Amino acid sequence: MGSNIPTSTLRSTDRTIPLLGYGTAEYPFGASIETMKESILHAIELGYRHFDSASLYQSEVPLGEAISDALRLGLIKSRDELFITSKLWCSDGHKDLVLPALQKTLENLQLEYLDLYLIHWPVSSKPGEYVLPVKEKDLLPMDFRWVHEQGVSVLVKSFNKERIKQNLDIFDWKLSQEDLKRISQIPQQRAYVAAEFVSEKGPYKSVVEFWDGEI
């Protein structure tokens, strides 16, 4: 695997996941598809092997094209060197739409399989629209058996070539015990509280309820 990025073994399989990945979200979604493809290809060249995408981001097609180019250019020998994640959007969060959504994602990525497929947000919406925020009248409860896992894989995102490199150079140093202690005392909060998914008429009535009180 490229660079010196550490990995962790997923509990449910013997597959390993790089603990630093490359995020592909930008807003407005799909605003700079060509720049995104070029940046992803540059990230592969630097040594990134874990890539996070989503149907909402409109990043699956440029990621798939970058992977195809990386194979053609010899930057990677096979798709198996990569760990590819994508996500199910709320409007596809219905039992009869999950499989078609996954198949569309694979088609966009030009891949035969994903390494990880996530539920983007734990709520459904009326089928048809890939938008954020979701319209309040379209929010629906999702039918889903939660499994809480331990362990963290960090996703970083930048289309600036220097920042892409800087985000990769984090494995040759460690925080001191004193630093760790001080960091642990910093009050934690969500950078994005997902207020758009909260409604008196929806499945979640408050932000606290949405996050199971962990906010």
Cβ-contact 159, 26 below 8 angstroms: yes
Closest among 75, 108, 85 to 155, alpha carbons compared: 85
- Secondary structure letter of residue 155 according to DSSP: E
**Under a CB-based contact definition with an 8 Å cutoff, are residues 86 and 117 in contact?**
yes
- Whether residue 48 lies in the annotated active site: no
Selected catalytic residue, list 57, 130, 192, 204: 57
In Å, how far are 54, 108, 162 from 64, measured between CA atoms?
12, 7, 23
What region does 17 belong to: left with phi over 0, alpha with psi -120 to 50, or beta? beta
List residues with catalytic annotation.
Answer: 57
